Structure 1
Amino acid sequence: MLVARSAALFAVAALFEIGGAWLVWQGVREHRGWVWIGAGVLALGLYGFVATLQPDAEFGRILAAYGGVFVAGSLAWGAVADGYRPDRWDVIGALVCLAGMALIMYAPRGE
């Protein structure tokens, strides 16, 4: 149950962080204005809050593991929102990152 909760929190965190960064990008690079930028900044702040809800207490472990989710999520977001088509190396790299995330976050520890 803790793994499912943790994975769900990672997914929500990715939605806020990647979505927030995308909104800022749209506001600045695509000239959509301050409303988009403001919404992005708000989403990025929510990402920081969601990260604190992880069941593990180690900040470094959570942020390191989240990096794998961020890599895979960013490629997926680009494919859905911007029509980017990841090639096989993008996909393999994302899978390697997700495997690293799983090792960092969910490996049995003898602590």
Structure 2
Amino acid sequence: MQTLVFFLIAAIGEISGCYAFWVWLRLGKSILWIVPGVLALIMFAFALTKVDASNAGRVYAAYGGIYILSSLVWLWLAEGVKPDKWDLLGVTISLLGTVVILFSPRIR
């Protein structure tokens, strides 16, 4: 459960941080948007270090499914675009990958 909480915090940090840069660079808003963007990206990186795993690469790989799901939620709630059936199929496949990576037995 704690892993999921840190993954969700990381996703919020990564998506909102990157979106701040999107707003500045793609929407032509003030450069000051990068200040909260950088802070959010720091939150993202910090949260991923809190996931209990022995290898960083495995954490990043497992996080991918949570990131994809969170991005589709962002698409729907922040941008007003409802995910279609292909988005939902893709996120389902990626979440299956997350479960396999996180919960497969490992020989240590």
TM-score, scaled relative to structure 1? 0.90
Code of the residue aligned with 2:56 in structure 1: it is F
Range with greater deviation from structure 2 (86-95 or 22-31): 22-31
Q: Percent identity?
A: 36
Code of the residue aligned with 1:69 in structure 2: it is I
TM-score, scaled relative to structure 2? 0.92
Residue 110 of structure 1 and its aligned partner are, at CA, apart by 3.9
Of 85, 88, 94, the residue aligned with 2:85 is: 88
| 1:109 paired to 2:106 | yes
For 2:75 and 2:30, locate their aligned partners in 1 and report how far apart those are by CA, in whole Å.
Answer: 21
Code of the residue aligned with 1:37 in structure 2: it is I
2:32 aligned residue? 35
DSSP 3-state at the match of 2:78: helix
Cα shift readout 1:72-101 (whole Å, capped 9, x = no counterpart): 111111111011221101011001101101
Range with greater deviation from structure 2 (37-46 or 88-97): 37-46
Count of matched residue positions in the alignment of Structure 1 and Structure 2: 108
Residue 36 of structure 1 and its aligned partner are, at CA, apart by 1.2
Alignment of 1:64-83 (within 5 A): 64-83=61-80
Question: How large is the RMSD of aligned CA atoms in angstroms?
Answer: 1.2
Displacement over 6 Å in runs of 4+ = none
Residue ranges of structure 1 left out of the alignment (5+ in a row): none
Residue ranges of structure 2 left out of the alignment (5+ in a row): none
